[in-house]
Amino acid sequence: MTVPFLFETKCQTIGDYIFLMEKDKTGKFIDFKYSEVRVLVHSFAAALRSLGVKKGSLVGLISDNRSAWIVSDLAIMSLGAADVPRGRDSTASEVEFILKATEAETAIVENKDQLKKVLSVRKSLSALKNLIVLDDELIVEVDDIAKENDVNIYFYKELIEKFKRSEDKELIKSINELKESDLATVIFTSGTTGEPKGVMLSQGNFDGIIKNIDSVHFPTAPRQRWLSVLPVWHSFERIIQYIIIYLDSTICYSKPIGKIMLGDLKRINPHFMGSVPRIWESVKSAVYAQMKKEGGIKKIAFDFFVKVADKHYKYSNMYHGLTRKYTKRNRFVEITTSIIPLIFLKPLYKLGDKLVYSQIKTKLGTNFTCGISGGGSLSPQIDDFFNSIGINLVDGYGLTETAPVIGIRAWTKRRPGTMIPYGNVDIKIISLETGELCKPGEKGELHIKGDQVMLGYYKRPDLTSKVIDKDGYFNTGDLAVWTYDGEYHIVGRSKDTIVLSGGENLEPVPIEAALNESEYIESSVVVGQDQKYLGALIVPSIQAIEYYLKQNKIYYISREDIYSLPEVHSLIENEIRERVSSKNGFKSFEQIYKFTLLKKSFEINKELSSKQEIKRFQIAKLYENEIKSMY
């Protein structure tokens, strides 16, 4: 089944359901029914066809989340064409790279700023003929701009009105002729490991994810609302939107900005939300910051009941056989060990739910069923915090190259830190040392084969052959471990692995996750390749530190002085030693011996990808001097 065929079928059966919700210029949410969006898709597809878009065409789509994005996406695919998406936070050079590489004749841009961005690199885009602006903001000199840049400029709403139709029979014919092998999109990777690569995903790749959603047994039902906060052009949020169509549900567009997202959670009262770990980290940090500010008995009660929840969660998992294990365990011992603590903890947990946990849960709305975290590793601390207080949070795993889902935590047996293979995917975990298949508890590189594996990298068969072997297995580059129960968990990336001069191999991600748990640390990057010991680049959480200095009557003249205060360095050093220590399971060579404070937060498209992943190779270049100073 193809995505356009799925959407067309749903419009015939549930046309009166609300398909999506987005804010108008006043901030009020407006609804679009499936049938209403179908009209927009058919109309816009007719407009695109008039501009020469046909089967096999590649169309640029530079925009963030909005109704016109999904309309454009569906219209392009319905014509048998494929979109080349990117967010509006992309730099001009990134936009130039993807439009030039794909030789796109038509590109859709969100607003005037994106139009200017494309026009700034127009000279190198020899194939470009048409630009369509989604916003209807008036550009007085648009005709002069078009003539000056030798390009046709159109507006989305004007095209919709000009080609408006309730149904386009030619489009229906095109949809019915689509095959699963047809190219659906070319998504360029965010460049966390080097030059962006164009990932070619087919209709069949997406179908491999969509058709297996029922197998994970999430408590879904028609007309449920899903809050959309991640960039829709990324494969994770994108597949969620297709799954929403499959589940007869509703997309509600928001933004991954604390105040906006939390406000929309209350207004929309959604059932599900896809997110990245940083969003949940920020929610937890906001809760802790609020409690610290209130202080007194509220803070004491909060800390106590959070500890109660943590212990209750761990003993409950032990009692129900939901702890991660690599060898067979005696269930009688687990039950008898956990039942007595559970009996004592239960009344306290119920009291904690009434006084503390319920207050946190209301921030997500009364319907909130589950948050699905992907696009990065969810730290155990964040995972345990939310699940222990009754906010269901599950980890998903995958890559752009796998459309993107490879695994997800089972809903019926939610073992923390584990996932089950998704759909018909065949997984092999191969030892980097011996090349043999790993047994439970042994770390190796994860290789997969299945419907969701990409067609390849656009015009780069050389790169494709490096990651997909002759038997069709894709090398994810991620390190994983099988559990005794046939689940697995991700422990790092083979390319991120740091090898010290003494030969010790270690993964930086768990260390960074522990560091970032500190309220005084905003971000961290562990370094030390080929060195005797580990160092860390630390971005301090400056507001929390200012509050600490105020509480402890430590005076300073300007914010700039904070970074050099001995008291601040001692504070951060103590936080590092407390969190990355042997008592928390870190080996001696995994501990941080030196650190450097950075004065600026990491930025998207600089130190971070648009998915807010650390771009290690870029950080190594940007902070070369700071890293050298630690050695």
pLDDT single digits (tens) 423-432:
999 999 999 8
pLDDT of residue 278: 80
Report residue 190's pLDDT band, with 50, 70 and 90 as the boundaries: low
Tokens of 430: 């191969």
Residue 495 has pLDDT above 80, yes or no: no
Record the tokens describing residue 494, joined without a space: 């083979």
pLDDT at 342 over 60: yes
- What DSSP character marks residue 437? B
Over the Cα atoms of the chain, what is R_g? 25
Report d(CA 75, CA 79) in Å as an integer. 6
Q: Is the model's pLDDT at 191 over the cut of 70?
A: no
Q: Give residue 382's region: left, alpha or beta (phi > 0; psi -120 to 50).
A: alpha
Q: Considering the chain, what percentage of its residues have pLDDT values greater than 70?
A: 98
Q: How confident is the model at residue 63 (pLDDT cuts 50, 70, 90)?
A: very high
Arithmetic mean of pLDDT, 202-219: 95
Report the percent of the chain where pLDDT is more than 90.
78
548: number of Cβ within 10 Å: 17
Reported as a pLDDT band with limits 50, 70 and 90, residue 594 is: very high
**Taking a C-beta distance cutoff of 8 angstroms, is the pair 468, 474 a contact?**
yes
Provide the pLDDT confidence category of residue 378 given band limits of 50, 70 and 90: confident
Q: What is the pLDDT of residue 258?
A: 81
What mean pLDDT is reported for the chain? 93
The pLDDT confidence band at residue 600, using thresholds 50, 70 and 90, is very high
Q: For 393-398, what is the mean pLDDT?
A: 93
Scanning 497-605, the segments in alpha helix (DSSP H) are 508-516, 542-551, 559-562, 566-579
- pLDDT of 608 reads 85
For residue range 508-558, what is the model confidence (pLDDT) as tens digits?
988 999 999 999 999 999 999 889 999 999 999 999 999 999 999 999 988
Q: What is the mean pLDDT of residues 279-307?
A: 90
Q: What is the mean pLDDT of residues 340-349?
A: 97
**Can you give the pTM of this predicted structure?**
0.86
Lowest mean pLDDT among 11-15, 17-21, 58-62, 278-282: 278-282
| List of residues 6+ apart from 628 with CB closer than 8 A | none
182 pLDDT more than 80: yes
Model confidence pLDDT, tens digit, residues 129-150: 999 999 987 666 788 888 889 9
The larger pLDDT score, comparing residue 25 to residue 140, is at: 25
pLDDT score recorded for residue 139: 67
Band (194; pLDDT cuts 50, 70, 90) = low
Report whether 526 contacts 508 (CB < 8 A): yes
Question: Under a CB-based contact definition with an 8 Å cutoff, are residues 165 and 43 in contact?
Answer: yes
The dihedral sign for the CA sequence 248, 253, 254, 256: positive
Segment 307-319 mean pLDDT: 97
User: Alpha helices, DSSP H only, in 320-454?
Assistant: 331-352, 358-361, 380-388
